[in-house]
Structure formats: C-alpha cells, structure tokens
Amino acid sequence: MTVAVHLENVHKTYNNIPVVNDLSFTINAGDMFGLLGPNGAGKSTTIRMLTTLTKPSQGQIEVFGYDVVSQPILAKQCLGVVLQAISVDGDLTVWENMELHARLHHIANPGRQRLIDQWLEYVELAPRRNSLVKTLSGGMKRRLQIARALLHQPQILFLDEPTVGLDPQTRRRLWEIIRDLNKQGMTMLLTTHYMDEVEYLCDRIGIMDGGKLISLGTLQELRSTHGEGLVVKQVGERWEYVFFPTLEDANSYLNQQENKTGMMVRPSNLEDIFVELTGRKLD
C-alpha cells in the first residue's frame, strides 16, 4: 500500500499559541479522507502545512514520500490544492486562468491546450471558456479552482471546505465531481464542518478540535468505538444521549425502564459522536 500522506507529531504555533497540537496520521493512496471539525479547529492550518504554504513549527510531514519542508518542490508536483478563499483571478477569462496556471507549472504545448480542454470539459465549464471569471457563479468558480488544481496531474487533491456557501444543488454537483475523481484513483483530503459531507464522501474520517485529532477511523469504526446504539432521553428542557455498544443493548436498557416517557432508541450517527467527543454541535 502506497502512503500518500504521513504526519508525525506535527505542531503549529502562531505567536506561541498552539493551533495544531501533536497531529499524527497516515492517508493511503486512493483514500478519500475527511478532516471534520468546528471553525478554528486547525483544519485549514493543517492543509496549509500539507501543501507547503506554511511550515510546521515541529514534526514531520511527507506527501508521497517527499518531505514538505526539505523537498517542497517535489512535494508540490504531487499535490493539487483548492483553498477556501476563491483564488481564481476575476478579471481573467476561464481559459486565461487555466493557461496562466499551466504556464506557472511549466506545462508545455501541445499538451497544455489539450489538458486545459480536458479539465474544462470535465468540470463542465468548456462553454464558459471565454467568460470573465467574475461573471461566474460561486459553484462555477469552485469547479474552475478544481480544474486548475488538476492541470499538472497531481496524485493527491486537497480541498479546504470545498462546498462552504454553496446552495444544496451545487454542493451535490461538486460532491459528484469529488467522488468521481476519487473513483478514478485520485487520493483526496477534504476539510469540512458539514457532517453530511463526510458521511456521503469520505471513507476515513479524522475529527479535529482545538488543534488536536480526537478521533480517527471509518464511520463504522467510530460507531463501534463510541457505541452503535443510542438512548435519547428528555430530561426537563434538554436531551441526554447515552451510548450503548449495540442497538440491542440500547433496546434492552429501554425495556428495563419502568417509565419510558421521553425516551427513544436509535442507531448512533456521526453527529452524535461529534457532540459526545466535543460537547457541542457544529454550526
């Protein structure tokens, strides 16, 4: 199994304040990995370190075997990145944005034109190739960012909150693109604070809070660790959640109760686990 990303005891501090704290995990080639966490958890900082945009204060990061600090150029050749802020130039056309990026990556013709055509076609922006980027919708700009990030044929794509601020239909469309790229063999790491996004897209999930990785695994592994069955109890004005190893355990607990008023059993989900781990809900 080829290792795509490896972080070992990674720390990042800004003005002596830790924002990423002792992060260690591995992503294998072909994985679709989701980093879930609330605002300020350290997800963007982690992506910035992984993509050589900022250096870790401590620890080691490798992308496809290349150290991001000592071999940044080689690491950058393997990776594509779609940052949270729309980073395409609004005063250039779609085509010019692609062309500029391709030239920056020293992609020579005739291959350059073919690759631009291919990726614009893929993200369904070919009909808008001569439009100024500032005239595109948010979803189109995001798709352009993705097409641009794929031009130099990276092995891994990093997406920082790719669907934030997009309407539900546009989100779904982007999800299909992300999923399809992964099916074609592209390793993906995406950050998000949307539960449904990780549940729908990701085969492994890392939960970050306060700069730390507080849980890691597949959804099924997380559910097995924290409990697959849940009893929800109404206590006065609030709801109390009690985890049980299995749904049957939760049911038998409920059956033993004399007064079952305000109690309900259901399978646990990612949101329950997140709330259990962090003590709060995501926005």
Ligand X SMILES: Nc1ncnc2c1ncn2[C@@H]1O[C@H](COP(=O)(O)OP(=O)(O)OP(=O)(O)O)[C@@H](O)[C@H]1O
Least Cβ distance, residue 227 to ligand X (angstroms): 26
At 58 the three-state DSSP class reads strand
Query: 170 Cβ partners below 8 Å, 6+ apart?
Result: 137, 138, 139, 142, 163
Q: Cβ closer to ligand X: 55 or 134?
A: 55
Of 40-48, 71-79, 121-129, 266-274, which segment contacts ligand X by CB under 6 A? 40-48
Q: Is 37 in the site for ligand X (CB under 6 A)?
A: yes
Which residue from 216, 242, 208, 205 is spatially nearest to 227, judged by alpha carbons?
A: 242
Among 31, 36, 43, 64, indicate the residue that binds ligand X (CB under 6 A): 43
Burial class (CB in 10 A: 0-12, 13-18, 19+), 74: middle
Q: Cβ closer to ligand X: 19 or 151?
A: 19
Among 27, 41, 82, 231, indicate the residue that binds ligand X (CB under 6 A): 41
The footprint of ligand X on this chain (CB under 6 A) covers a number of residues equal to: 12
Q: Which two tokens stand for residue 256?
A: 């033993």
Query: 55 Cβ partners below 8 Å, 6+ apart?
Result: 49, 68, 69
Strand partners, 194: none
Least Cβ distance, residue 159 to ligand X (angstroms): 12
Site for ligand X in 137-176 (CB under 6 A): 161
Q: Cβ closer to ligand X: 43 or 226?
A: 43
| Residues near ligand X, by CB under 6 A | 14, 19, 37, 39-45, 161, 193
